[in-house]
Amino acid sequence: MQLSDFSIHARSRVLRNVQIYCFVMLETEDFIGVVTLLLSTLTLVLVGLLWLRNMRKQRETDKGYGAQETGLARLEELLREQERVFRREMADDQKAMEQRLGDIQKQLAEDAGKLRTDMVERFESLRKTISEGLADGRLAQQRSLNELNESLQKVLHEGITGVGKDVNAVLVRNTEELGKRVERLTESTDKRLQEISSQVDKRLSKGFEKTTETFALVLTHLNRIDEAQKKITELSSNVVSLQEVLADKRSRGAFGEVQLNALVRNLMPEESFALQYQLKNDKRVDCMLFLPEPTGNIAVDAKFPLESFRRMTDLQLADSDRDKASSQFRQDIRKHIGDIADKYIIPGETSDGAVMFIPAEAVFAEIHAHYPDLVEEAYRRRVWLVSPTTMMAILTTARAVLKDAATREQVHIIQQHLGALSKDFGRFQERMDRLSQHIRQAHDDVDQVNTSARKITSRFEKIEKVELDEGLEPTAIPEVKAKV
């Protein structure tokens, strides 16, 4: 009986709670929750029935529980009764819920209709407001575009005008500056050319003057040579007296040196010769001529042996004595040629030849006329036999060589200046080329600026011709249908 009372009390509590929950869920329109709660309750009841059936089977096995079995049977019957009652109540509740759901559905349909009507009215009002705003915005946008177009045209026109003025001013300024630079460069080039021309003229004039002087001196010396040739006869007639004067070796050497010194000083510049010049081998030469390469320095000896020549030409001696004197004369000259070649021909210091000065024209003529072997010996040993007349010609030629060397040096300087002038002209050509390139580049830039200006003007003209479409209407907003 206690179990039965407990089950009745539990059933009533469960049903009471279920009714409360169902009422709350219906009020909150949670239909799914109501159905879920009912199914949960039914499941709970079925579980209780199964539990009681199991308890009954267990108690049937126990013999000492007969009274309890009777109670369990009654409890089972009560549960079945409660199940039937619960099913009836659930059916009633289901009908009430269906009725309630129908009422709620009707109410929702009425509310949806009202909401749809309200939304349509609101959308229509919003469409009208948007259409009016779009029309006003289109007009304001048209006015703004017109104002912007006018201001932009004005600004661009002013900008193009200013750019054109600036470009023209820059071009004029660059042209003026370029003209000034070209004028300055031309003036400096003309001045430089005039200076170089004046220097060349001066040096050429000096060279011509020196050449004229040289030719005048040559003519003068040739006249002197002619006079000397006239005096040869007189000298030949005075050979005997000269031999007597030159009998002494010291007097003979002094006479040759004095005659050589007179010739050299009269015909050669001071810096082109040296008297009693000491060589590297500690030998002293009577005269050293300093000539330009490839000739080089030439040693001149004036100590000629005349004793044998005096005896050879002495008519008072017998023929045998004069023959002996002739042989001795040949030996003396050959020895003197060898001494000059050994002493005064020094590689690296002097020329490859030396000069043996014969102070008498008669002796020079005698050697070339009757002693050809001595002439060949001298030629082989690179010793040049000269007389006062031929020495004069040699010195004149040497002086001309010196002047020609000086002239060549001046020509070399002129060539250097001409080379520098050629380089200056080359730099001038390069600068003129760069200048012409800059001028062409400036002309191309001006053409490009003009092209850009024409393009900008064309684009502005196209912008001015643009017309906005007046027939455009704002698009209507489609109606929204509420779905139930």
- pLDDT per position as a tens digit, 85-101: 767 777 776 777 777 77
CA atoms of 347 and 480, how far apart (whole Å): 129
63 vs 125, more confident: 125
- Dihedral pair phi/psi, residue 288, rounded to 5°: -120, 120
pLDDT value at residue 376: 92
| pLDDT (0 to 100) of residue 236 | 56
Please write down the HEC assignment for all residues of the chain: CHHHHHHHHHHHHHHHHHHHHHHHHHHCCCHHHHHHHHHHHHHHHHHHHHHHHHHHHHHHHCCCCHHHHHHHHHHHHHHHHHHHHHHHHHHHHHHHHHHHHHHHHHHHHHHHHHHHHHHHHHHHHHHHHHHHHHHHHHHHHHHHHHHHHHHHHHHHHHHHHHHHHHHHHHHHHHHHHHHHHHHHHHHHHHHHHHHHHHHHHHHHHHHHHHHHHHHHHHHHHHHHHHHHHHHHHHHHHCHHHHHHHCCCHHHHHHHHHHHHHHHHHHHCCHHHEEEEEECCCCCEEEEEEECCCCCCEEEEECCCCCHHHHHHCCCCCCHHHHHHHHHHHHHHHHHHHHHHHHHHCCCCCCCCCEEEECCCHHHHHHHHHHCHHHHHHHHHCCEEEECHHHHHHHHHHHHHHHHHHHHHHHHHHHHHHHHHHHHHHHHHHHHHHHHHHHHHHHHHHHHHHHHHHHHHHHHHHHHHHCCCCCCCCCCCCCCCCCCC
- pLDDT, one tens digit per residue, over 327-338 is 888 888 899 999
Task: Choose among 297, 293, 277: nearest CA to 285.
Answer: 277
Q: Could you tell me if 335 and 379 are in contact, meaning their C-beta atoms sit under 8 angstroms apart? A: no
Q: What is the pLDDT of residues 398-453, one digit of tens each?
A: 888 888 887 777 776 777 777 777 787 778 778 778 877 878 887 787 778 778 77
Q: pLDDT tens, 335-394?
A: 999 999 998 888 888 888 899 998 888 888 888 888 899 899 989 999 999 998 888 888
Question: What pLDDT is attached to residue 231?
Answer: 67
C-alpha distances (whole Å) from 102 to each of 70, 106, 108, 431 are 47, 6, 10, 107
Cis preceding-peptide flag for 294 (omega within 30 of 0): yes
Task: Pick the more confident residue, 109 or 215.
Answer: 109
Residues 6+ apart with CB under 8 A from 142: 468
Average pLDDT over residues 151-157: 73
Q: How far apart are CA 113 and CA 119, in angstroms?
A: 10
Bin 303: left if φ > 0, else alpha if -120 < ψ < 50, else beta: beta
Would you say residue 181 has pLDDT above 60?
yes
Q: What's the average model confidence in pLDDT over 137-152?
A: 77
State the Cα–Cα distance between residues 20 and 28, nearest whole angstrom. 12
